[in-house]
Amino acid sequence: MSQTPTFAERRVLAAIDVSGYATSVAAYAGWAASRLGAPLELMHAIDREAALVTVDLTGNLYLGAQEGLLEEMALLDEQRGNLVRQRSTTLLEQAHGIAKGHGVAATVRQRHGVLVDTLLALEDEVRLFVLGKRGENADFARGHLGSNLERVIRAVDRPVLVAPRAWRPIQRFMIAFDGSATTRRCVELVAASPLLRGLPCDVLMVGDAAEAQAEPMQWAQAQLQAAGFSPGMHAVPGAPESVIAEQVAARSIDLLVMGAYGHSRIRNLIVGSTTTQVVRNCQIAVLLLR
């Protein structure tokens, strides 16, 4: 029986697909693994792409014709399966080259099955998941997040780094903070992890100016300062889904940190409209923590 890896042994796992996000996912995964000093695995889950098409021809053709056609279909299914595996191999090889550019020698793996089930089965071995904001089937649906991303975030307990379409070096990050237990946990995780250590940061609370001096913001500032950060503390009035995106652009933020499940005005990731819109509207990487 294999033992559960220790925290230091857990890896960054990037889910690569054939969408336009594959290059970005590989780049962000390489960056994260390098910063964390963690192993990196690039994985492609072969599911619907390789599904075999079956047709019931019973009663529609005379016996000889039916058998001949079934043999041809079986041959085509085998050829299609081989092409899918070859495409997967090429995809992973390209992603490996991108990750290597960030100084990380990644391992690659093909898995057969539904992506969410596959990631859940590997979760005990993983420190951080990296996925694209949209997958192949939602590639141009800018009003929606990828369905696989939504399902994964609902299901897993590990942090998820959501990659935008294009890689952008992480030079400054922002924490969306509302004083809740979930966003306090975000601050603690950022302070304890090497992932963002040494980078300039901001903490944003969507509220009036008085809230910037309130106990929760003072607590967040003290926690980050104790970890070596010099955070800019901001309270901005308005609706979170619009204010956060506006502040990300105004302050040249490269990475947004949010709680996967929060309360008050930043709440209910994915199943709640606020965070769904924030992740959708921000054209930068988003790190979702629990």
pTM of the model: 0.82
Euclidean distance between CA atoms 102 and 112, whole angstroms: 28
Average pLDDT over residues 136-155: 63
Euclidean distance between CA atoms 23 and 11, whole angstroms: 19
Q: What is the pLDDT of residue 269?
A: 39
Domain ranges of the chain: 7-50+84-163, 173-289
Q: What is the pLDDT of residue 211?
A: 65
pLDDT, greater one: 106 or 72: 106
Contact 285, 160 (CB under 8 A): no
Strands, E assignment, 160-236: 160-163, 173-176, 201-206, 232-236
Question: Class for domain 173-289, per CATH?
Answer: alpha beta
Contact 40, 14 (CB under 8 A): yes
- The answer to whether 7-50+84-163 and 173-289 have equal CATH topology is yes
CATH architecture of the region 7-50+84-163: 3-Layer(aba) Sandwich (3.40)
Q: What is the pLDDT of residue 217?
A: 93
pLDDT in tens, 14-53: 999 888 899 999 999 999 999 999 999 999 988 754 444 4
Q: What is the pLDDT of residue 120?
A: 94
What end-to-end distance do the CA atoms of the chain give, in Å? 29
Contact 232, 202 (CB under 8 A): yes
pLDDT, greater one: 88 or 172: 172
Q: What are the structure tokens assigned to 4, written together?
A: 């559960």
Q: What are the structure tokens assigned to 21, written together?
A: 């996000």
Q: What is the pLDDT of residue 251?
A: 95
Q: What is the pLDDT of residue 124?
A: 95
The H-assigned helical ranges of 156-260 are 181-192, 215-226, 240-250
Q: What is the pLDDT of residue 250?
A: 95
pLDDT in tens, 220-261: 999 999 999 999 999 999 888 889 999 999 999 999 999 875
